[in-house]
Structure formats: C-alpha cells, structure tokens
Chains A and B, each alone.
Chain A
Amino acid sequence: MAGNWLPAAQLTGSGRPVLEPGEVECSLLSSVDLLSEENPNFPHLKSGLLILTTHRLIWVQESSTTSPPTAVFIPLSAVTHIFSLKKSIKSMFASPRFRFQASLKGMMVVITLILRGKSDIDSFLEKFWEAWRRKAWEDGVVKSGPEVSGSGHGSGGDGGFAVRMPVVGVAGILRKEQEMWENTDKSLQDAFQDLNALMGKAKEMVMLAERMRTKLLSGSTSQATGTNDEEIGTKEEMQELLLSVGIVSPVTKESAGALYHQQLSRQLADFVKIPLERSGGMINLIDIYCLFNRARGTELISPDDLLRACSLWEKFDVPVMLRKFDSDVMVIQSKSHSDDEVFTRIRSLVTTPDTLRAGITASDAAMTLGIAPAMAKEHLLAAEAKGLLCRDVSPDGFRFFVNLLQEIDADDIFLVKEYGIYHTWIKAISAAR
C-alpha cells in the first residue's frame, strides 16, 4: 500500500518488527495516523502502531481482518528536520500531531503524525529527538571498519601496533605485549569511573569483553592449566546456555506504556519457539519464566505479567498456547503438538491387531508416544471424553480400547460394515482364537 513511498518492514510471526543488529526499541504508541498534508499522493496510513527504535520509525497496521499485518518504516537517517510542537488553542481540542521532514526517494516530504490514542506526545517527541540526534544507525556502519582491526589487535600479533613502534626481536614483542596490557588496564579504569564514562565507552568495553572471553576460552582448552580455569569454563558454559538467546530489545513498561502486555505477549510468542522445539513441543511455564527473564537481562517481569502475556495469546494468531492441567501445572505447548495430533497418534496406537484385542494402558501409551505416564493418562482420558476410546476397569488395571460402539447400528446390531474398525476388530479377535 505504501510501497511506493516507504519501504516495508519485516515482521515476526507474532507481528512484532524484526530489528536490525544493534537496533533497540525506544517507544511505542498506539493508533497513530501517518500522512503527508502537502502531498496528496502520499498514502494516508490510518490508526497503526508506531514504534520508535534507535534506527527507524516503524508503522505497523494494527490487527485488522487482513491476515498478515503490513508494516512500513522510515529510517531515522532520512529525517532531515523535526518541527517543534505548536501550542495553540486549536491544538487543545484536536488530536495531538507533530510533523517532521524526511527525504524519501530523493524528495523532501513533510510527514505528519496524528496521535489518536491517549499518549504523551511530549515524552515521545523527546525520545524521537534523542534517537535522531544519537545517530545510532551510524555506529553499525562505522563498526564494521574498526572491528576488523580490533580483532587483529586482539590476537596480539601484528599490524596497527607495528606501525607505531618499531618491533625488533624478542624484546620488541615483549614490550608490545606489555603496552597492550597497560592500555587495557587504563581503558578499564577510565570506563568504570562513573556511569556516564561507561556509557561513552560501552562499545569499546563490549569488544574488550568479547576479546577476553575468546582468549580465555581458547586458552583453557589448549592448556588446561588448573582447576581454576575449568571452573571459569563451566561457569561460563552455564551462563551461555541461558544468556545466548538474548533479547536485545525487551518490551518494557516504559517503552510500551499501555501496549505493554500486548507487545510483551507477542515478544514472548516469538521467544518461546526455540526453547519449545528443544524440549519437544511442551515446556513448563516456570522454566519459561526463567529463560525469558534471563534473555531480558535486568528487565525482569513478574510472574503475573508473564501469565497475563500468555493468556493474551488466545486473541492473537500465534503458534503457541497456554495449557493448564488438573493438577494446576501450567505448560506452554505448540499448537502443532495439540490434542488433534495426539488423538491421531492414539487412534493408530489402538487399532493394531494386538491392541484391538488387549487394549492399552497409560504406560503403554507413555512408552510409545515418548511422554510421561501422567501426561499419557491425561491424553487417554481426553480421548475417551471425545468418544475415541472406551475404558475397561478390571483387576488387571485401567485399560483403554478403541470405541466400537460408534460403528454399531442401533437398528441392526449384528450388521458389520465392511472395512470399518468393527470389521478389523472381529478379524483380530478371531485370529487370536
């Protein structure tokens, strides 16, 4: 729709924007119109979700009937001017709006944003200004340059340093080595003076951390000097296990405001995909609470928020669902792992010649389906409730048989329909005798 003017933004399965590396979400506003008052050709985008990131301004169509929501973005680098807010009597009654100028497709366009929702326009503008001035998108571009030389400098053998100081023989190498350590020490000291210093040097410190990590890890594997090294190694492995799936831009109350739970819910749906696959389609809600919070770093969410985010899934088209057992245990399961799929497997399980005759128990089902017995029992009882199975309670225990009663005609109970399960059952029984 806006394809001519604005590039389309990629969305995740649950309708959240896919962020570029290094891009972080700053603020969200709901029901925002995006249009150009001067240019009639410019599309009028009505009532969408506006997401301000450090790199872009993303407009996402709010959930409508058309299945895949569309999204477009304006790179902040294209913004050339942000007009300050005009306060007038008129503006007190109309929905708040603000304008900025951007160069799109080689043309200067003044774009107006109308905020129809109840939102704090001043604080949004402030964040917009901040992100625009900060020019975070440039970091990414510049980064690719020094990173190459940075890693070279890290490996300790070469280039940048050699030019400055003549390296002669062993002494030269040692001197170079020492200088490197002094530099690192100094930059560590500088960076941790106070928070502002750390913020300024954040990028450098991240690189230093990376360098230390790779060196120590490679060192401990090749040398294995002692228990201390191993301790660090295992500790780091453990951390890595959980921190590796980090969420760079967690949805927070501060950035999302009123949209907090809704956005959190979507982010969670995207997040659980990987852990869910690893654990075979079902995972304890409490485990997810830990993994999700770990991925969010310091942005902890409370158990209540998590539960609310999960319960909102019913309203969105996401491939996961929350399930509560009678025992009050709550799990997250993927929809492909849902009851229907399990019922199909149970059906095929109870219709083999052996099981037609002898039925199955919960533990049989557990072993064949590769799930816990308690879970298998749940599934069997659910299948019984659906009319797929019949139970038989005997001294032998609780056994389930395929339900033949559905095929038996009330008017003629001796009629055996050919190729039905009843027919197969009779064959199986007579074969056994």
Chain B
Amino acid sequence: MRRRPGIGGLQNAAAARDQYRLLGENVAKLRTDLMKEQLATFRSQLEDFARKHKNDIRKNPAFRAQFHEMCAKVGVDPLASNKGFWAELLGIGDFYYELGVQIIEVCLATRPHNGGLISLDDLCKLLGQRRKAVRETISEDDCLRAISKLKVLGSGYEVITVGKRKLVRSVPTELNKDHNEILELAQAQGFVTVDEVQRRLNWSSGRATDALETLLEEGLAMIDDGHRDGRRRYWFPCVSSVSSYVGTDAL
C-alpha cells in the first residue's frame, strides 16, 4: 500500500492496522481453540491406551519411557486401572495401589493450604476429578481401603474422626510444624483458644482442633474451661515463664 499524505491517509493506515490486528487476534483465538481440541483428543487417546495396553506398554522399556513422557507433557495420569471384580472382592490388583498413590499425591498437593489435614469428602472429590476418564466414582470406602494398604510403611497417614467428619492426616506428629506456629502464637499470652488459632493463622477449625488436641496429648498444653467467656483455653506453661502468666492472671 502506498502511503498517501494528509489526514485521510493516516486514518486509512490506522484502519488497515486495526483490521490486521483483528484478523491476527481471530487467528490466534482459533489456534488456541484448535490446539485445545487436539490436546483433548490426545489426552483421551493416551488415557485409553494407558488402560487398555498397560501390560504391553510395560513390556517394552524404551517405549514405556516415551509413553510416560507423553503423559507427563499433556497432563495425563498414567495410572488408570479399573476397579474390577477381583479388586473389589479381594483387594488385589493394582487398583488400590494406584489409588493409594493418587491419594498421597492429593494430600501432598493440598498440604500447603490445609497443613496435611483433608476431609475424606474433599479427598474423594479431588480424586474423582483426576480420574474423570475412568468414569468410576471413588467411594469413601475405596479411599479407606487404599489408605489401609499403606500401613506397611508405618503410621504416617491416619484417618481420624473429628465430630461427624472423617479426616485424613498426612503429616505425622513428629513432622508437624503446625505445632510450632501454635507455640509461637501462645508466647504472647501464654494461652490460645481454637477461635484465635483459626483467625490468626487462617486455618480450618479441624486443623486447629487437631493440632491443639495433639499438643494436649503430648503433654505440652493444659486446658482451662473455667474462664468467664466460656471458651476453652489451651495454656502452654512451657513457652511463657512463670512470672508472665502470673502477670496476665492479675489483669
């Protein structure tokens, strides 16, 4: 296009630029959409293959490596065994082992948010999302069975009951840094309440209660139900010197 002088020429050029830009955007959008579509096909095909040809894939080490690479790149979980009749009945086969690995994975991935305490409901929901392709819902019973298979590796994962809800705890007491945070919090007054822990540290009530109960069991905390506001206070004599809590009592 030859550039013409004058305002008209400038306006023309601007309009042309706009049109090119519009076209470019359309193409880019089309491209992403197509890409997504192809990615979806790719994914579902890989998932199918992972399920149908599991044993054949395992027989060929070189191909297996490539297959894993594909799965990793497009975000497909290569573990996709069906539960099947025998798994359900006898608990044999790879199903519960695979589910176990996926359960731990969910726990690991959500740990930064929940401190290693996840309700069984949420766990099932997240697992269901990951196993969409298998089209098989994961029941709580399946989860419990899969977790019980991990018992061989020590009692690092526990199913605990808080109120009516079942929670899965993936951080054993020995490795739980939540307790340190509570101790730090308690340093100010010598005691904390469940509410305070929830509010100040932004934790769920289950997480706060569980941590405090464990500290109580460990003998680090003492409870005091006798206060006027009716809230249970967890005292930590270990973090505050005697003089400081005499001081707060006097207030």
Contact = CB atoms under 8 A, between A and B. Distances in A.
B82 interface: no
Contacts of B72: 239-240, 243-244, 246
A261 to B, nearest CB: 15
Interface of A: 22, 24-26, 54, 134, 136, 156, 170, 173-174, 177, 181, 184-185, 188, 192, 195, 198-199, 202-203, 205-206, 208-210, 212-213, 215-216, 219, 223, 225, 232, 235-236, 238-244, 246, 248-249, 252, 254-255, 282, 284-287, 289-291, 293-294, 297-300, 302-304, 306-307, 324-325, 327-331, 361-364, 366-367, 370-375, 377-378, 396-398
Nearest to A202: B66
Interface stretch (B6-14, B55-63, B159-167): B55-63
A367 B185 CA distance: 12
A282 B176 CA distance: 12
A307 B153 contact: yes
Nearest to A283: B175
B27 A174 contact: yes
B88 interface: no
Interface of B: 20, 23, 27-29, 31-32, 34-36, 38-39, 41-42, 45, 49-50, 53-54, 56-75, 77-79, 94, 97-98, 100-101, 104-105, 108-109, 149-157, 170-177, 179-180, 183-184, 214-215, 218-220, 236-239, 242
30 contacts: A170-B23, A173-B27, A198-B49, A199-B60, A219-B35, A246-B69, A255-B61, A285-B154, A286-B104, A287-B156, A287-B170, A290-B108, A297-B67, A297-B78, A298-B78, A299-B58, A300-B98, A303-B152, A307-B152, A324-B154, A329-B175, A331-B172, A361-B238, A362-B220, A367-B184, A373-B180, A373-B183, A374-B173, A374-B174, A374-B179
Contact of B36 (A216, A252, A330, A363): A216
A174 B26 CA distance: 11
Contact of A223 (B32, B41, B63, B214): B32
Contacts of B65: 22, 24, 248-249
A244 B71 CA distance: 12
Contacts of B64: 24, 297-299
Given A192-B49, A298-B50, A299-B58, A206 B174 contact: no
Contacts of B108: 242, 287, 290-291
Contacts of A219: 32, 35
A208 B45 CA distance: 14
Contacts of A248: 65
Consensus secondary structure, chain B interface: helix
A214 B146 CA distance: 35
Contact of B35 (A174, A216, A255, A306): A216
B183 A367 contact: yes
Q: Would you list the 9 A-B pairs with minimal beta carbon distance, nearest first?
A: A330-B154, A290-B104, A209-B73, A297-B68, A202-B66, A286-B156, A329-B172, A303-B152, A374-B173
B210 to A, nearest CB: 13
Contact of A26 (B61, B69, B215): B61
A213 B175 contact: no
A225 B34 CA distance: 14
A372 B32 contact: no
> In the complex, which of the residues B97, B104, B174, B236 has the most CB atoms of chain A within 10 Å of its own CB atom?
B174
Contact of A284 (B71, B75, B175): B175
A378 B98 contact: no
A286 B58 contact: no
B184 A303 contact: no
A178 B153 CA distance: 54
A291 B100 CA distance: 12
B32 A329 contact: no
A183 B9 CA distance: 42
Given A212-B42, A327-B172, A372 B177 contact: yes
Given A188-B42, A205-B70, A300-B98, A136 B62 contact: yes
Contact of A298 (B68, B152, B155): B68
